[in-house]
Structure 1
Amino acid sequence: MNNLNIKRRIVVTGGPGGGKTTALDLFRRELKDKISSVPEAATMIFSSGIERSLDNKVICAQQIAIFNLQRNLEDVQRKMHPDSLIICDRGCLDGLAYWPGSEEEFFKIMNSSLSEELERYDAVIFFETAAKSGQEIKSNNPIRNESEQTAIILDQRLQKIWSQHPNFNLVASSESFIKKVMFGISTIQNVIDKM
């Protein structure tokens, strides 16, 4: 029987070049009958003809669209798969790390709060960027084109935000990729076992 306090939702996030996308593919293969996944909203938007911008007004408009798409995708998957664990490729709070204004402005515009967004998820699996341990972060995702230095800055911002979740699980960049994936699967399985 499902515990009413369990949202049955995990966010997998982290800085660019952390191995998150590859790990998510492996999670889907390993746990295919137990999970449903939500794709990354930012990739959906930027790969469909909307260009990334350096203009703060455009960045704000893009992050509003990403936030709302992410939230709606999560809600659609919950309705389609009411008994599954939902694995989210990034979460609604990721946009805060890219937001050019203040945190207060972000939550006012999104009509939300930090606590409300953290409460959407049972757990956070954070894949630290490989750039933190001096590795290259070339990506197969053409939308992700950050330099190593930018990846580290974004990773620090994202980690500061998500580490406030009570079930925050850091997968350090120094770990082998196999250990990262096994840790992620173990964390997911722990949430499944509580359902």
Structure 2
Amino acid sequence: MNKLNIKRRIVLTGGPGGGKTTALDLFRRELKGKIVSVPEAATMIFSGGIDRSFVTEVACAQQVAIFNLQRHLEDIQRKTTPDGLILCDRGCLDGLAYWPHSEEDFFKTMNTSLNFELSRYDAVIFFETAAKSGQEIKSNNPVRNESAQKAIILDQKLQQIWSQHPNFNLVSSSESFIKKIMFGITTIEDVIDKI
């Protein structure tokens, strides 16, 4: 692969309560010096004094802000570490699962396309919500407060979106957390080895 075509970017995503935030903290420690990370834009916004809204116009405005912040955070890390492997806590396409209108409307509003957004990342590591295997979901993220049923619905939407990536890696909810972490680290190291 031509060095110029390498994005050197991995998305870590999944439904609420999948262990993603805890996994990301462990990845940072285990792979220190090999990766740089991008924080989750939605968490930054919702923990910064803006409340989630279910009013359609407000929810749309929030998702536009999240999308743009996520994009800019990724761009900052790329400029800061031009050759580094960037591990993103969620990606720009996550907002599609929360968008109150059609998929077509999302891409028109964001002035992008599914193919373009997928092409921005080398790999996707998807942590399936623990709610899918009947486990209680606990989040280390205080702005995540979805019920188990809502977590399953969001997980299905997110998985449908991200599974279209050619290097989609599913970490099943039925796996032990240790196995999830090991799978994630192995996947990241595989991407590092290929670039």
- Pick the TM interval, shorter chain: over 0.9
State the distance in 1 between where 2:173 and 2:65 align: 30
How many residue pairs get aligned? The number is 195
Measure how far apart 1:3 and its partner are: 2.6
User: Partner residue of 2:187?
Assistant: 187
Q: Say if 2:111 is the partner of 1:150.
A: no
Q: Say if 2:69 is the partner of 1:63.
A: no
TM-score normalised by length of structure 2: 0.98
User: Partner residue of 1:75?
Assistant: 75
Match runs of 1:114-133 below 5 Å: 114-133=114-133
Kept after mapping to 2: 8 A contact 1:3/1:194:
no
User: Partner residue of 1:50?
Assistant: 50
State the distance in 2 between where 1:9 and 1:172 align: 22
Measure how far apart 1:4 and its partner are: 2.6
TM-score normalised by length of structure 1: 0.98
- Percentage identity across paired residues of the two chains: 82
Consecutive unaligned residues in structure 2, runs of 5 or more? none
Superimposed CA distance per residue, residues 70-118 of structure 1 (whole angstroms, 9 cap, x where no aligned partner): 0000000000001110000000000000000000000001000000000
Measure how far apart 1:5 and its partner are: 2.6
Measure how far apart 1:138 and its partner are: 1.8
State the distance in 1 between where 2:169 and 2:31 align: 19
State the distance in 2 between where 1:2 and 1:177 align: 36
Moved over 3 A (4+): none
User: Partner residue of 1:7?
Assistant: 7
Measure how far apart 1:2 and its partner are: 7.0
State the distance in 2 between where 1:2 and 1:88 align: 22
Paired residue type of 2:151: A
User: Partner residue of 1:105?
Assistant: 105
Kept after mapping to 2: 8 A contact 1:126/1:171:
yes
SS at match of 1:77: helix
State the distance in 2 between where 1:138 and 1:83 align: 35
RMSD: 1.0
Paired residue type of 2:187: T
Measure how far apart 1:54 and its partner are: 1.1
Measure how far apart 1:140 and its partner are: 2.3
SS at match of 2:132: helix
Kept after mapping to 1: 8 A contact 2:123/2:169:
yes
